[in-house]
Structure 1
Amino acid sequence: MSLQCINPQSYNNEIWYICEILQELTNSFVGARANTYLTPANSAGFAPHWDEVDAFILQLEGKKYWRVWSPADGDSALPDESSRNFTEKEMADKNLVFEGTLEEGDILYVPRGFYHSASTGKEHSLHVTISLCHN
């Protein structure tokens, strides 16, 4: 379970600036899907899933363990909608491309259509996700 706060760039100039720079560099709409997530210790925010946007995850406090899997095939590489939640059993045959713990100041890029999941250990996690929309 995670507490999600939407639109953090409206309250924080540093996040607003990051959104502005990413938008300029990528020529994509950035920031409308910026969110912060506060996840308690020994918890997970979401089951494995994919999103229809590229995402930059910036770890602000604590630690979070991430796993990222590549899309199943070329047809599902650039989805127009987010997926349903998948079980750990369903993920067993997927191609794991990243597994690691983000600590304060770390950044992780999760491309559109890549499965991902995250969980905390003995401490809480606070991270911001900044999404790039290609529509």
Structure 2
Amino acid sequence: MQASQKTVLLVEDEPLILMDVADTLSEAGFQVIEARSADRAAAMLMTGLAFDILVTDVDMPGTLNGLALAAFVAVSRPDVDIVVTSGRDVSHLIPSVATFVPKPARPDRLLCAVSGNLPIAA
């Protein structure tokens, strides 16, 4: 499947990071749906939102964080690829089916993770 045929649900509360990552993904041919919190993303999921890849930050305001969201998606949508980003090493906390990308994430590393071209060098 080509990038242009895949939809990414991008969950990030920092507006500049959200805009930068959304631009990077869009320029690579992905369709991007943005959510500024894990709570908002969870609400979108409950409406039956269709997407192929979840890219989520960990620390966000609200009742859910990105780890809880990733765990929920891993169980409820096993066909969705999951990429978790954070400025701290939470790689040991993410679902086993997810990929961890440390922040600040270089665009090429993020695109490798989203495209499924692993492993990613630190």
Higher helix share: 2
Higher strand share: 1
- For the aligned pair, the TM-score class normalised by the smaller chain equals 0.3 to 0.5
Name which one, 1 or 2, has greater alpha-carbon Rg.
1
Higher relative contact order (Cα pairs below 8 Å, separated by 6+ residues): 1
